């Protein structure tokens, strides 16, 4: 009897010691700062007025930039969305996962449910975690029934709360999904989605141009929702369909609600804005605001949303205890598939700033994006030229919350994020589609790639050449002078370093040049 009691006490003791080692007490967790990542979609380096180029005005983002660290060499991990999002959440270079490409709306979940993610890491430290906005990392197992719980998804890779669009604003299904359920779905009008075949009798952008409010330029000619032709076919779900012009407000209100609900515990909010990705559908309050057409207007709208979010944090007294990181998933594009006047109405604005290329490009404007950290009272205002990538956020935020967890390719650059040092990364692999380039110091190496030099559809220089390209960004930010022939030693050094990290051999350069 006595012996039993001792054993029971022993077990209770061991269990409580184990529990206290794994979990964090409420008091301890309370000390931890809130973390908000504001992630824009296709916002260019030159789209933010604080970056000093272009003619757009983004006063609210500028306030963050001017009150925090404005990085001039902050990178997305890829020149497109899905791979960048994969990298920011997992701390893993996207080229390590061959499926990390722009995904359709029916693609399976890209992140393994056993993979480490920022929200998973933070949950272990007592955080509540939420995502509101664009997901585009796949859902389910590739055979989703949209009328039941959709799983696995964000809630299975670390988010306690999710309110998302599945893929992009131009891809079906055009509905919001809350914690795995299509929001506002009428069970008598089930949703069906197909990326190969249309559903009988359903109009398409290709066959029914008379129904379109927005015309397609390339792609985007499948199902029509709200007069906008999309990528992919969808049927049913009428009551659940989003209203495009309300999307910014919808995500903002959900984000504010999330903050209010979780302000008394440490929280992580991944606020993934849909702007200025196509189709650009500003709310009528913003139509015509910039004179630059819908692209300018949705950037003004996104900037306003960020201001409103900041007001919420301020009103709730949360600014002193919240680290805010703002960035974009890839560089800018004007015509990304719709005739929306982005090219014609651009005027003197330069979305790419002083950089070459844009979205989809291996040149700098593909991946070098606005990157800002702000924390009232904790981060001193400064401009930092430290090289930092979004892939570094996992390990850096882990350091912030005293977690030992690390992402495979993620460097702990917490001091850089906090503006305590300007010593960032030495090396970085850049990605655009399946192509990779290598940055080391101020040098960047772009290996030879087949394919057009300029994309015909989006009119962006992609970085393809049949020769090695080598640029010294310190002297040639606009990548105008290829130094590959003039600096053979540097070229060799970068190729060797690159090969080592990438596990690719470029030794037979002669052959490559002939491709
Ligand atoms: C492309 C789309 C483009 C955009 C992009 C994804 C066509 C012709 N183009 O395939 O409009 O949706 O995918 O953008 O369909 S991203 O920012 O999410 O990577
Ligand atoms: Ca994007």
List all residues 6 or more positions away from 63 whose beta carbon is below 8 Å from its beta carbon.
307, 310
pLDDT bracket for residue 504 (50, 70, 90): confident
CB of 219 within 6 A of ligand 1: the answer is yes
Q: Distance, CA 295 to ligand 2 centroid (Å)? A: 14
Beta 427-432 vs 435-440: how paired, if at all? antiparallel
> What's the pLDDT score for residue 511?
45
pLDDT bracket for residue 26 (50, 70, 90): low
Domain 36-185+239-427, CATH among 3.40.190.170, 3.40.720.10, 2.60.40.150, 1.10.3720.10: 3.40.720.10
Residues 299-350 have pLDDT tens digits of 999 999 999 999 999 999 999 999 999 999 999 999 999 999 999 999 999 9
Residue 81 CA: nearest ligand 1 atom is: 19
Residue ranges with strand state E in 60-195 = 69-71, 74-75, 128-134, 161-165, 176-178, 181-182, 192-194
> What's the pLDDT score for residue 21?
47
Sequence spans of domains, the chain:
36-185+239-427, 192-235, 429-502
CB of 328 within 6 A of ligand 1: the answer is no
Q: Which of 81, 86, 166 to mutate to test the pocket of ligand 1 (most atoms within 8 A of CB)?
A: 81
Domain spanning 429-502 has what CATH number?
A: 3.30.1120.10
Beta 128-134 vs 74-75: how paired, if at all? unpaired
User: Average pLDDT, stretch 11-24?
Assistant: 50
pLDDT bracket for residue 13 (50, 70, 90): very low
Over 50: is that where the pLDDT of 135 sits?
A: yes
Residues 89-109 have pLDDT tens digits of 999 999 999 999 999 999 999
CB of 170 within 6 A of ligand 1: the answer is yes
Q: In what order do the strands lie in the sheet with 382-384?
A: 181-182, 176-178, 161-165, 128-134, 267-272, 34-40, 322-328, 371-374, 69-71, 382-384
Q: What is the DSSP string of 290-323?
A: SSSHHHHHHHHHHHHHHHHHHHHHHHTT-GGGEE
Number of C-beta neighbours around residue 139 at 10 A: 28
**Gap between the Cα atoms of 515 and 511, Å rounded:** 7
Closest C-alpha residue for ligand 1 atom 3: 336
> What's the pLDDT score for residue 434?
87
pLDDT bracket for residue 503 (50, 70, 90): confident
Closest C-alpha residue for ligand 1 atom 10: 102
Over 80: is that where the pLDDT of 9 sits?
A: no
Kindly report the pTM of this predicted structure: 0.94
> What's the pLDDT score for residue 295?
98
Over 70: is that where the pLDDT of 18 sits?
A: no
Over 90: is that where the pLDDT of 506 sits?
A: no
Over 70: is that where the pLDDT of 257 sits?
A: yes
Q: Quick check: 296 and 359 in contact, CB under 8 A?
A: no
CB of 81 within 6 A of ligand 1: the answer is yes
User: Which ligand minimizes its atom distance to the CA of 136?
Assistant: 1
Q: To 5 degrees, how large is the angle CA 359–CA 70–CA 81?
A: 25
27: which 2 tokens? 């008091």
Q: Distance, CA 336 to ligand 1 centroid (Å)? A: 7
Residues 341-393 have pLDDT tens digits of 999 999 999 999 999 999 999 999 999 999 999 999 999 999 999 999 999 99
> What's the pLDDT score for residue 406?
98
**Gap between the Cα atoms of 359 and 347, Å rounded:** 19
Q: How many CA atoms are closer than 13 Å to the CA of 150, on its beta-carbon side?
A: 32
User: Average pLDDT, stretch 14-29?
Assistant: 53
Q: What is the mean pLDDT of the chain?
A: 94
Q: Distance, CA 329 to ligand 2 centroid (Å)? A: 5
Q: Distance, CA 312 to ligand 1 centroid (Å)? A: 32
User: Which ligand minimizes its atom distance to the CA of 101?
Assistant: 1
Q: To 5 degrees, how large is the angle CA 44–CA 47–CA 51?
A: 100
SS3 track for 358-413: CCCCCCHHHHECCEEEECCCCCCCEEECCCEEHHHHHHHHHHHCCCCCCCCCCCCC
User: Average pLDDT, stretch 118-124?
Assistant: 98
* Polymer length in residues for the chain: 515
Residues 167-214 have pLDDT tens digits of 999 999 999 999 999 999 999 999 999 999 999 999 999 999 999 999
Q: How many CA atoms are closer than 13 Å to the CA of 271, on its beta-carbon side?
A: 29
Residues 243-252 have pLDDT tens digits of 999 999 999 9
Q: How far is CA 67 from CA 64, 102, 116, 123, 324, in A?
A: 5, 34, 32, 29, 11
User: Average pLDDT, stretch 427-433?
Assistant: 97
**Gap between the Cα atoms of 422 and 418, Å rounded:** 10
């Amino acid at each position: 009897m006595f012996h039993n009691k001792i054993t029971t006490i022993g077990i209770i003791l061991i269990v409580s010691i184990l529990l206290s080692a794994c979990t964090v007490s409420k008091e301890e967790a309370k000390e931890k700062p809130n973390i908000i990542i504001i992630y824009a979609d296709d916002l260019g380096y030159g789209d933010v007025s604080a970056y000093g180029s272009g003619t757009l005005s983004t006063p609210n983002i500028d306030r963050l930039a001017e009150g925090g660290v404005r990085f001039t060499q902050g990178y997305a991990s890829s020149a497109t969305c899905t791979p960048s999002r994969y990298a920011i959440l997992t701390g893993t270079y996207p080229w390590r996962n061959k499926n990390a490409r722009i995904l359709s709306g029916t693609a399976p979940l890209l992140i393994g449910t056993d993979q480490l993610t920022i929200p998973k890491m933070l949950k272990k430290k007592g955080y509540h975690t939420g995502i509101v906005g664009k997901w585009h990392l796949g859902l389910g197992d590739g055979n989703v029934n949209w009328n039941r719980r959709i799983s696995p998804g964000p809630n299975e890779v670390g988010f306690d709360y999710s309110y998302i669009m599945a893929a992009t604003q131009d891809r079906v299904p055009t509905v919001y999904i809350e914690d795995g359920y299509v929001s506002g779905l009428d069970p008598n009008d089930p949703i069906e989605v197909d990326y190969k075949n249309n559903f009988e009798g359903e109009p398409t952008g290709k066959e029914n141009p008379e129904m379109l409010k927005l015309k397609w330029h390339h792609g985007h000619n499948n199902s029509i929702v709200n007069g906008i032709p999309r990528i992919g076919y969808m049927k049913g779900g009428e009551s659940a369909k989003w209203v495009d012009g309300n999307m910014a407000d919808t995500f903002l209100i959900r984000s504010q609600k999330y903050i209010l609900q979780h302000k008394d515990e440490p929280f992580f909010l991944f606020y993934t804005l849909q702007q200025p990705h196509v189709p650009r559908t500003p709310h009528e309050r913003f139509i015509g605001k910039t004179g630059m057409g819908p692209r300018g207007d949705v950037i003004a709208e996104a900037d306003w949303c960020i201001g409103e979010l900041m007001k919420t944090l301020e009103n709730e007294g949360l600014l002193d205890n919240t680290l805010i990181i703002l960035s974009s998933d890839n560089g800018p594009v004007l015509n990304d598939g719709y005739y929306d006047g982005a090219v014609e109405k651009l005027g003197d604005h330069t979305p790419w700033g002083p950089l070459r290329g844009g979205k989809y490009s291996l040149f700098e404007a593909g991946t070098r994006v606005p990157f800002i950290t702000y924390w009232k009272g904790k981060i001193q205002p400064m401009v930092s030229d430290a090289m930092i990538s979004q892939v570094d956020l996992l390990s850096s935020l882990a350091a912030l919350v005293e977690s030992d967890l690390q992402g495979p390719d993620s460097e702990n650059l917490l001091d850089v994020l906090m503006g305590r040092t300007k010593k960032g990364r030495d090396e970085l692999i850049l990605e655009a589609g399946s192509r990779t380039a290598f940055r080391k110091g101020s040098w960047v190496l772009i290996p030879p790639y087949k394919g057009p030099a300029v994309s015909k559809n989006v009119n962006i220089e992609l970085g393809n050449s049949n020769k090695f390209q080598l640029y010294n960004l310190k002297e040639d930010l606009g990548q105008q002078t290829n130094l590959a022939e003039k600096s053979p030693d540097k070229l060799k050094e970068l190729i060797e370093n690159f090969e080592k990290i990438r596990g690719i051999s470029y030794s037979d350069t002669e052959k490559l040049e002939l491709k």
